[in-house]
A and B are shown apart, each in its own frame.
Chain A
Amino acid sequence: MVTYIIRRLLWSILLLFVVSFITFVMFIVLPSADPAILRAGRNPTPELVASIRETLGLDKPWYHQYYVYMRELILHFDFGYSYQNNVAVRETIFDRLPATASLAIGAAVTWLLIGIPIGIISAIKRGTLLDRAAMGFALLAISAPVYWVGLVSIYLFSEDLGKLVPIFKGSGQYTDFTEDPIAWASALMLPWLVLATAFAAIYARFLRANLLDVMGEDYIRTARAKGLGERRVVFKHGLRSAITPIVTIFGLDLGILLGGAILTETVFNIPGIGRLAFDAIQKSDLPIVQGTVLIAAFAVIMMNLIVDILYAFLDPRVRY
């Protein structure tokens, strides 16, 4: 187990190298605006642009730039400085991380709380009106794009703009948890629900299908033949097996969201990693882009590793 984890960690480092390299090459190869010109402001003199290029190191060949970047990253855990305003990328990212983490983790809890019960009930009551209604709604929720649901929900439910039931206070005004926990929660309530909608629907459908599969297994028949109550059969025997694959997709989804939920963050004006990355791409701010990409990749890789380790505990047949 320990050797397995070490091996996986080493692979993760290699993977991050590859990711950073690809990001870098893409930035060099694909046409993008010249960061120096963007930095220089309106009507810059060629001398100014040249001097900015020199300061940012853009006059050197790309492999040299990459070498310098990696050297600083590895030796000093230094992610470089923004081309736009010289702030340290590391600090910027760590600044933005709490907002993204708040959004992602809150949404994850929300969609589990909504999706899992619906999936279970739908499976138990398969074919009934309740099941069909739930699965119909789920399909709708999956099909609706998150930015649209976000805008509609602000239009209907936010306290300042809400036309229907204006109950969600402070949507669009993200406040740090450490500053004011209540404002934090109230500002995030609507984004959580919006981001969780599609996920809850996917999880409900997935769990329903899994549980129906499992309830047809021989060991469920055995559990019934033992004379166990139906509740125990479903929850202890059925759900225990049906929930295991959910853990896998949950880890992946959470990993991806921790790398930034660009659309939701934009719609609700949440200063998270996704927004940071989006802005940086528009401004050809390579160090910031590189930093956010690495953070996102790191989140996905780590969640993957955690899921795989967790699996060994969930399924006794899995051994590393």
Chain B
Amino acid sequence: MALLEIENLKVHFETDDGVVKAVDGISYSVDRGQTLGIVGESGSGKSVSSLTVMGLSRSRNARISGSIKFDGKELLTASDDELRTIRGDDIAMIFQDPLSSLHPFYKVGAQIVEAIRAHRDYSKQQAYDRAVEMLNLVGIPEPRKRAESYPHEFSGGMRQRAMIAMALANDPKLLIADEPTTALDVTVQAQILELIERLQSEFDTAVVVITHDLGVVAEVADEIAVMYAGRIVEHADTDTVFAGPEHPYTWGLLSSIPRLDSPRDEELVPIAGRPPSLINLPGGCSFHPRCPYVKPDHMTIEPPLEALHDNPRHRVACLLDPDTRRKLWKDLREGKSPVDARADVMHDVAAEGSAVQAAGDTGAARGAVAASEEDKGA
């Protein structure tokens, strides 16, 4: 049995402007000791889905449905008190900005002590010793002295280490890391990822890493789920995602990061347009206004997340047939532009008003907006 099993999770928020479908039916599971990377742009629902696991997205205007099973226990129907005993104990979380995530008025050691004593029947001294031990474990020099420091006296990397020490102090089964390295210097990022990996193998903790940075998940994740507009559009093991991605959005993500093995003069290809509004999702495939390979029926048919025939562990939500997808990816890897790849593989011209003509210029977003507005009219 998987440690964390999420089935058809939906998190909708009722706002004055309409219903925000932050998470719109996602399913995934994480095994003990495994690392899942959830990748997506801002507003793709990756953080909300994880906060929901912790029970932290509960509010008066939130409508949450589906199922979240942790260690066999259903969390969505659990009471606030039950969730509270799980939070910080079996499931711990670290956040993007370690400065704002630590309370500025309390000493670092005291904040870790508080986390320990919320779940363990330790004396203050025992908890304090444990906190110092954890600070030592995450590589903070002179931990006993630094436990008496305030967060503002720590560097960014040290703060994130302290957050990790706090999260792991109760030996959780699952660690959710929400953009753990985004606010840090590049050199520190690698150290923090290394630390998470080392501690994970030491404690046999399952980890969910949420990030917009494919470089981060490439380093630590066993599996990757790519999220777009509240849904998972591709899910496979890490090697497959990098070697044989099947979703045009994943291609876009991969083409927009530099590679060491590509020619030096090759330009990065940004994904045209913007993430859609989660209130007014485009009809059909949510990605169609930005997809260079869109066909007319993609604007009406919703693609299900389906396993591939030759690799059941690789799931993709795309309406293009697998052969076309593979040829397109091959062309893209050879350095062809999306427009050329489309002409080469699909032997047609791009749909009127799609992002394709606009790709790469400043009109891209406008093209995408025009396309999505056409849909609404249809």
A317 touches B85 (CB 8 A): no
Q: Mark B92-131, 1 if CB is under 8 A from A, else 0.
A: 1101010011111110000000110011000000000000
Which residues does chain A contribute within 8 Å of B87, judged by CB atoms? 224-227
Minimum Cβ distance to chain B for residue A144 (Å): 33
Partner of B150 from A227, A228, A317 at Cβ < 8 Å: A317
B95 touches A218 (CB 8 A): yes
Q: Mark A246-271, 1 if CB is under 8 A from B, else 0.
A: 00000000000000000000000000
Of residues A221, A225, A240, which shows the largest number of chain B Cβ atoms within 10 Å of its Cβ?
A225
Q: Within residues 25 to 43 of chain B, which ones have a CB less than 8 A from any CB in chain A?
A: none
B103 touches A223 (CB 8 A): yes
Which residues does chain A contribute within 8 Å of B88, judged by CB atoms? 225-228
Q: Within residues 203 to 260 of chain A, which ones have a CB less than 8 A from any CB in chain B?
A: 217-219, 221-230, 237, 240-241
Q: Is A315 an interface residue (CB 8 A)?
A: yes
Nearest-neighbor residue (CB-CB) of B87 within chain A: A227
Nearest-neighbor residue (CB-CB) of B169 within chain A: A226
Which residues does chain A contribute within 8 Å of B234, judged by CB atoms? none
Which residues does chain A contribute within 8 Å of B106, judged by CB atoms? 240
Q: Is B166 an interface residue (CB 8 A)?
A: yes
Q: In the complex, what distance in Å separates the CA atom of A227 from the CA atom of B54?
A: 9
Which residues does chain B contribute within 8 Å of A46, judged by CB atoms? none
Q: In the complex, what distance in Å separates the CA atom of A229 from the CA atom of B84?
A: 7
How many inter-chain residue pairs (CB < 8 Å) link A and B? 67
Q: Is A41 an interface residue (CB 8 A)?
A: no
Q: In the complex, what distance in Å separates the CA atom of A217 from the CA atom of B97?
A: 11
Q: In the complex, what distance in Å separates the CA atom of A229 from the CA atom of B92?
A: 15
Q: Is B56 an interface residue (CB 8 A)?
A: yes
Nearest-neighbor residue (CB-CB) of B105 within chain A: A240
Nearest-neighbor residue (CB-CB) of A220 within chain B: B103
Q: Is A31 an interface residue (CB 8 A)?
A: no
B104 touches A218 (CB 8 A): no
B104 touches A316 (CB 8 A): yes
Minimum Cβ distance to chain A for residue B301 (Å): 39
Which residues does chain B contribute within 8 Å of A317, judged by CB atoms? 104, 150, 152
Minimum Cβ distance to chain A for residue B113 (Å): 11
Interface CB pairs A-B, < 8 A, 20: A218-B97, A218-B101, A219-B102, A221-B56, A221-B95, A222-B101, A222-B103, A224-B54, A224-B56, A224-B87, A226-B87, A227-B119, A228-B84, A228-B114, A228-B118, A229-B84, A237-B103, A315-B105, A316-B150, A317-B152
Interface residues in chain B, defined as those with a beta carbon under 8 Å from any beta carbon in chain A: 54, 56, 80, 84-89, 92-93, 95, 97, 100-106, 114-115, 118-119, 150, 152, 163, 166
